Copies of this chain bind each other. A is one copy, B any other.
């Protein structure tokens, strides 16, 4: 049995922190894992910036409420879910992703969670598991699934390479050049066709 595992930010929705950096007028928050590969360090730095500006969960959620999925993402997911089970795997947090999942028709999302104080201050975060994408794909394989995976970024490579079929989607020129063995697509039509092909449909 096949199951499709998809990255979220960059693949189905815009990068949440970049959207919040723009909405809040705090350009430092555009820093991503490309600038700071240590995710813990990056997140703690982000929480420091939020505290400094007196911003909490409410303000971030207000920005996220205005973000829409990428054009065509909902239709892509809707069609994919008619013929494949789908799990979205993301390094984001439930509290950020929920409004976007509503706009995507409530697909199943495996992500992380924020620790939030009563006054709304984000005091910390809890990662679900180490190397969440690769670990999740391996756990799904251990219960009889053949996984198909797609994502755009460095942290997606593990699950893409460990899967029965794996595809880059709207990735960077650098990642595509470093991984000529991975099919790389730019449109949802191409990605849907590749997933069907991998499932022998």
Chain B minimum-CB-distance residue to A94: B1
Interface size counted on chain A using CB atoms at 8 A: 31
User: How far is B105's CA from A82's CA once the two chains are assembled, in angstroms?
Assistant: 10
Q: CB < 8 Å: which of B78, B86, B102, B113 contacts A1?
A: B113
Residue A54 CB within 8 A of the other chain: no
Copies in the complex: 2
Contact (Cβ within 8 A) A82 B94: no
User: What 1/0 mask marks residues of chain A from 132 to 144 whose CB sits below 8 Å from any chain B CB?
Assistant: 1001100110111
Most chain-B Cβ atoms within 10 A of its Cβ — which of A87, A108, A132, A143? A143
User: How far is B143's CA from A140's CA once the two chains are assembled, in angstroms?
Assistant: 10
DSSP class of A's interface residues: helix, strand, loop or mixed? Answer: mixed
Residue A145 CB within 8 A of the other chain: yes
User: How far is B106's CA from A87's CA once the two chains are assembled, in angstroms?
Assistant: 12
Q: CB < 8 Å: which of B78, B82, B109, B135 contacts A85?
A: B109
Instruction: Kindly provide the distance from the CB of A80 to the nearest chain B CB, expressed in whole angstroms.
Output: 10
Residue A128 CB within 8 A of the other chain: yes
Q: CB < 8 Å: which of B85, B112, B135, B142 contacts A108?
A: B85
Which B residues lie within 8 Å of A81 (CB)?
Answer: 106
Residue A70 CB within 8 A of the other chain: no
Which B residues lie within 8 Å of A94 (CB)?
Answer: 1
List the 7 shortest-distance A-B pairs measured between CB atoms, nearest first: A128-B144, A129-B144, A108-B108, A139-B139, A81-B106, A129-B143, A139-B143
Contact (Cβ within 8 A) A87 B113: no
User: How far is B109's CA from A81's CA once the two chains are assembled, in angstroms?
Assistant: 10
Contact (Cβ within 8 A) A128 B145: yes
User: What 1/0 mask marks residues of chain A from 12 to 34 whose CB sits below 8 Å from any chain B CB?
Assistant: 00000000000000000000000
